[in-house]
């Protein structure tokens, strides 16, 4: 009886592992098709958090329409790299206009994001390409969104949506069909273990 129970438990564990590996692969494909925007405040003071939101508003307004004709995540990153000095200047000018002297840095990077809900979609945790703005010391709470496809910047023409760049299977993952919230938590734990060992 013990042998049978061990075999059953081993089989269940193997099935869960294989399911998680397939799910992880689909999440990786999602991360490879999306560009995130990350704005890090100087501190957690009310003033610095309000300033972060003003920088967000100025940057997203300045970038309106810039990614409308991007043919994929790679082209979106190239465009953002080209516009990065201009966006950094917009962010810096906003900080000055609010009476602060914090420096603002803008970079393209690959960074870890936790699982995040945006209206009807949930983006899985993991490493994403991002446009990152750091205000001053960058020690405060942050704000982030998806800029490609444009979910938080306005489009001058018909806006691409997530369904334009993700497969139906990947859309079912980000819209939460089929209990994927639990899998996202398991994926976060799995990635944490992989990063540590």
Write the CB contacts of 50 (distance below 8 Å, at least 6 apart in sequence): none
Q: Structure pTM?
A: 0.68
Select from 145, 143, 140 the least CA-distant residue to 100.
140
Domain ranges of the chain: 32-196
Cβ count near 86 (within 10 Å): 13
Contact indicator for 110, 128 with CB cutoff of 8 Å: yes
Distance CA 148, CA 76 (A): 7
Q: pLDDT of the chain along its 197 residues, tens only?
A: 566 666 555 554 444 444 444 444 455 666 677 788 899 999 999 999 999 999 999 998 888 888 777 888 888 888 889 999 999 999 999 999 999 999 999 999 998 887 777 666 677 778 888 999 999 999 999 988 888 877 776 543 344 455 555 556 656 655 666 544 444 555 566 555 655 55
Three-state helix/strand/coil letters over 110-150: EEEECCEEECCEEECCEEEEEEEEEECCCCCCEEEEEEECC
Q: Are strands 121-123 and 116-118 parallel, antiparallel or unpaired?
A: antiparallel
């Amino acid at each position: 009886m013990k042998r049978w129970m061990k075999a059953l438990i081993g089989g269940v564990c193997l099935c869960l592992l294989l399911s998680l590996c397939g799910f992880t692969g689909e999440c990786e494909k999602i991360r490879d098709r999306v560009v995130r925007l990350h704005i890090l405040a100087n501190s957690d003071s009310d003033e610095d958090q309000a300033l972060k939101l003003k920088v967000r508003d100025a940057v997203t307004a300045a970038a309106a329409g810039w990614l409308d004709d991007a043919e994929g995540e790679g082209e979106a990153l190239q465009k953002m790299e080209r516009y990065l000095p201009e966006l950094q200047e917009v962010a810096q000018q906003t900080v000055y206009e609010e009476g602060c002297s914090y420096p603002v840095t803008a970079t393209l990077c690959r960074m870890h994001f936790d699982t995040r809900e945006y209206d009807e979609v949930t983006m899985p945790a993991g490493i994403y390409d991002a446009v990152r703005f750091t205000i001053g010391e960058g020690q405060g709470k942050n704000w982030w969104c998806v800029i490609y496809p444009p979910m938080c910047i306005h489009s001058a023409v018909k806006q691409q949506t997530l369904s334009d760049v993700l497969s139906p299977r990947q859309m079912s993952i980000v819209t939460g069909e089929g209990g994927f919230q639990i899998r996202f938590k398991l994926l976060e734990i799995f990635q944490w273990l992989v990063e540590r060992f």
